[in-house]
């Protein structure tokens, strides 16, 4: 098992070929998400009740957290193995938390009880399991983490007819389009492909671009549900 203490500092070498734009997309996305998140919280407070406002606040916190942690991790050239592994754990763990956070407003505003509580329980339990995996095994294979991200992200398929019945087809289309982008980005991340401009915009930047666009689509879907 890999832990910060178990990683020999002498064997750790920062990636000398890190593209210049590594983490830049998520740096800007974190700032945009902070303002967008504040907007959706205010919108929920005006248009809905306390529970919906809490759900939107949780969603906003997770999206800002995802992009901010990612930007911090990728923009800095970590000099020690301990710091690098800790930030890697945080970065990968936030993906699971963000997935569950994104589900939360849809469960509370677009799904009826008790289905919404079942879905919430499944995705948050999955998020806890994913975070536990990343903390206990930060060096786990890429395919394992990506598979879990995708599996957790597509739980919504099981309740999609109910979701459409309580919201709209447009919401489902936006969720599906965002899900496809997240999934494609995850697969490309696992493959480390394509790598268009390795010195400036590489395969990881392609992945980050997919996540930023997908998050935007899901944000629009949150507003459609909120304003319905």
Count of CB atoms within 10 A of residue 139's CB?
A: 11
Element housing 77 (H / E): none
SS3 201: strand
User: What's the confidence (pLDDT) of residue 138?
Assistant: 86
Enumerate the known binding-site residues for Zn(2+): 74, 204, 208
Digit-coded pLDDT (tens) for 25-62: 999 999 999 999 999 999 999 999 999 999 999 999 99
Digit-coded pLDDT (tens) for 10-20: 345 556 678 99
Count of CB atoms within 10 A of residue 146's CB?
A: 20
User: Can you give the pTM of this predicted structure?
Assistant: 0.92
d(CA 210, CA 3): 30
| In CATH, 20-227 is 1.20.1070 | yes
Question: Which residues, other chains included, contact 49 with Cβ-Cβ below 8 Å and sequence gap of 6+?
Answer: none
Strand partners, 201: 197
Enumerate the known binding-site residues: 74, 204, 208
Query: What is the domain partition of the chain in residue ranges?
Result: 20-227
d(CA 145, CA 158): 22
């Amino acid at each position: 098992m890999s832990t910060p203490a178990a990683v020999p500092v002498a064997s750790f070498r920062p990636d000398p070929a890190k593209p210049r734009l590594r983490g830049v997309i998520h740096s800007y996305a974190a700032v945009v998400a902070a303002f967008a998140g504040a907007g959706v919280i205010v919108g929920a407070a005006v248009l809905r009740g306390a529970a919906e406002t809490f759900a939107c606040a949780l969603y906003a916190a997770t999206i800002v957290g995802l992009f901010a942690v990612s930007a911090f991790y990728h923009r800095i050239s970590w000099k020690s193995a301990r710091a690098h592994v800790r930030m890697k754990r945080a970065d990968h763990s936030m993906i699971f938390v963000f997935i569950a956070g994104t589900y939360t407003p849809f469960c509370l505003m677009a799904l009826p009880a008790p289905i919404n509580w079942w879905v919430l329980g499944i995705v948050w339990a999955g998020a806890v399991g994913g975070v536990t995996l990343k903390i206990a095994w930060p060096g786990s294979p890429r395919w394992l983490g990506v598979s879990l991200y995708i599996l957790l992200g597509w739980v919504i398929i099981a309740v999609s007819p109910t979701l459409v019945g309580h919201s709209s087809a447009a919401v489902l289309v936006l969720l599906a389009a965002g899900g496809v982008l997240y999934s494609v980005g995850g697969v490309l991340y696992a493959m480390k492909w394509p790598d268009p401009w390795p010195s400036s915009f590489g395969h990881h930047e392609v992945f980050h671009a997919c996540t930023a666009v997908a998050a935007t689509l899901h944000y629009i879907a949150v507003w459609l549900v909120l304003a319905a």
